């Protein structure tokens, strides 16, 4: 009896070690939280990235890694997910071990038992800093182009291939008294 129990415990321990290796190998920051929100574990890559030890990040300690401006909306969204039981995502900045903040897409998914009760929340935090910078550059370029087009001393417009107009510059709108619709 005791021998069988010891063998079973060793099988479980090895399985947990193997699972931890798999999780630590996933090329993103991954984590597991309890049904009511505090974390149960964070991947090695999460600890390496943030510089927070498992003891510092345990429970609600993970929140210390987030930018102070992003923490209130992050916590609000997290509470909404906990209440609804629905998966979700949010973007927030996470502090790297060297005190540099980078944007991450944080996704969480509930893990349920056969009755639908949430046992754990599993999630990933994926670095999207480069995407955010590219989006900001595109928006700035669009604003600059719009400014140039709107300040040209001409009436400018464009149309789709079917002949319907899809753009009028501000000078055209001011001249005609119409609005962009």
pLDDT tens column, 40-95:
989 999 999 999 999 999 999 999 999 999 999 999 999 999 999 999 999 999 99
Residue 100 has pLDDT above 80, yes or no: yes
Confidence of residue 144 (pLDDT cuts 50, 70, 90): very high
**Mean pLDDT lowest for which of 12-16, 94-98, 133-137?**
12-16
- pLDDT value, residue 72: 97
Q: How far apart are CA 1 and CA 4, in angstroms?
A: 5
Could you give the C-alpha distances from 43 to 31, 39, 77, 91, 92, in angstroms and in order? 6, 11, 22, 19, 18
What is the mean predicted confidence (pLDDT) over 169-175? 91
- pLDDT value, residue 8: 86
Quick one: CA torsion of 96, 99, 101, 106, rounded to 10 degrees? 40
Question: How many residues make up the chain in this entry?
Answer: 181
CB 81, CB 88: distance < 8 Å: yes
Q: Which two tokens stand for residue 179?
A: 């609005």
Pairing of strands 165-168, 101-112: unpaired
**Mean pLDDT lowest for which of 20-34, 116-130, 136-150?**
20-34
């Amino acid at each position: 009896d005791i021998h069988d129990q010891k063998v079973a415990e060793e099988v479980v321990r090895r399985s947990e070690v193997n699972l931890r290796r798999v999780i630590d190998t996933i090329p993103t920051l991954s984590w597991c939280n309890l049904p009511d929100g505090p974390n149960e574990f964070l991947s090695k890559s999460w600890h390496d990235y943030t510089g927070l030890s498992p003891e510092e990040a345990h429970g609600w300690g993970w929140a210390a890694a987030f930018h102070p401006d992003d923490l209130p909306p992050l916590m609000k969204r997290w509470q909404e997910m906990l209440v609804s039981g629905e998966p979700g995502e949010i973007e927030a900045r996470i502090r790297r071990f060297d005190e540099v903040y980078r944007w991450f897409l944080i996704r969480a998914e509930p893990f349920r038992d056969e009755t639908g009760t949430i046992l754990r929340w599993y999630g990933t935090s994926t670095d999207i800093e480069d995407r955010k910078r590219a989006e900001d550059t595109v928006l700035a370029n669009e604003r600059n182009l719009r400014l140039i087009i709107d300040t040209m001393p001409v009436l400018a417009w464009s149309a789709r291939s079917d002949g319907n107009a899809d753009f009028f510059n501000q000078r055209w709108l001011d001249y005609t008294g119409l609005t962009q619709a």
